[in-house]
A = this chain, B = another copy of it.
Amino acid sequence: MTIKETPRRFAKDAPIYFAGDAAGRLLKVACGAVMIFHIYDDGRRQIVDIVTEGELVHFQFDGELDHYAEALTQTTLIEASADAALSDQAWAEFIFAQMRGRLQRERRHIAMLGQKSAAERLAEFLILVSERLSTPLGDIELPMTRQQIADYTGLTIETVSRLFSRWTRERRLVVTGKRTYRIEGELAA
């Protein structure tokens, strides 16, 4: 018995769910990319993770969701019943593997935010994105605004902008398109 999967499409920047929404459905990214984030009362926002093709968006299958999700690009999600998936052997293994990957990324993110300088954080972010969102050419596809990058790295848009400018000036980073870059040398320094 296969599990019923319903596709849902989201425009760029469209909200996917809010904190407080009921969980219960399992969401898998078919194409596009999703950002997961927290918001504080005063408007501060922290992007916690970026979810890409083939990955699950969250693992909260009952109760309420405690974070937000938004489409970073035009995105198609596959929706399925969480209960059904959990009792299916193959799905359960997939879910487990996904959770493990997510835990690993989040651990790295914690270490980055806790210990690294602005330049180190941005460099690590770019490398992460190049591994997860890249075109096959090796160029970094960066479908994020400065504000989003700042909210992922825990910096301000000005600091992010200054680092981009400096690296570009120093030819460590080359702008190869409207929203694509290529890393030429060692960043971080």
Which A residues form the contact surface with B (CB < 8 A)?
36, 38, 40, 44-46, 48, 59-60, 66-67, 86, 92, 95-96, 99-100, 102-104, 106-111, 113-115, 151-154
Does the CB pair B110–A106 fall under 8 Å?
yes
Q: How far is the CB of A170 from chain B (nearest CB, A)?
A: 23
When all copies of this chain in the complex are counted, the total is 2
What is the bound-complex CA distance between A46 and B153, given in angstroms?
A: 16
What is the bound-complex CA distance between A92 and B95, given in angstroms?
A: 12
Q: A38-B107, A106-B106, A114-B151 are in contact. List 20 more A-B contacts (CB 8 A).
A: A38-B108, A44-B115, A46-B110, A46-B115, A48-B107, A48-B110, A60-B100, A66-B107, A67-B107, A96-B96, A96-B99, A99-B99, A99-B100, A99-B103, A103-B103, A106-B110, A110-B113, A113-B113, A114-B152, A115-B154
A to B CB contacts below 8 Å, 24 in the list: A38-B107, A38-B111, A40-B115, A45-B115, A46-B111, A46-B114, A46-B115, A48-B107, A48-B110, A60-B100, A66-B107, A95-B96, A96-B96, A96-B99, A99-B99, A99-B103, A103-B106, A106-B107, A110-B113, A113-B154, A114-B151, A114-B152, A114-B154, A115-B154
Q: How far is the CB of A108 from chain B (nearest CB, A)?
A: 8
List B contacts of A95 (CB < 8 A): 96
What is the bound-complex CA distance between A48 and B66, given in angstroms?
A: 20
What is the bound-complex CA distance between A114 and B106, given in angstroms?
A: 12
What is the bound-complex CA distance between A36 and B60, given in angstroms?
A: 23
Does the CB pair B106–A66 fall under 8 Å?
no
List B contacts of A99 (CB < 8 A): 59, 96, 99-100, 103
What is the bound-complex CA distance between A40 and B115, given in angstroms?
A: 9
Does the CB pair A48–B111 fall under 8 Å?
yes
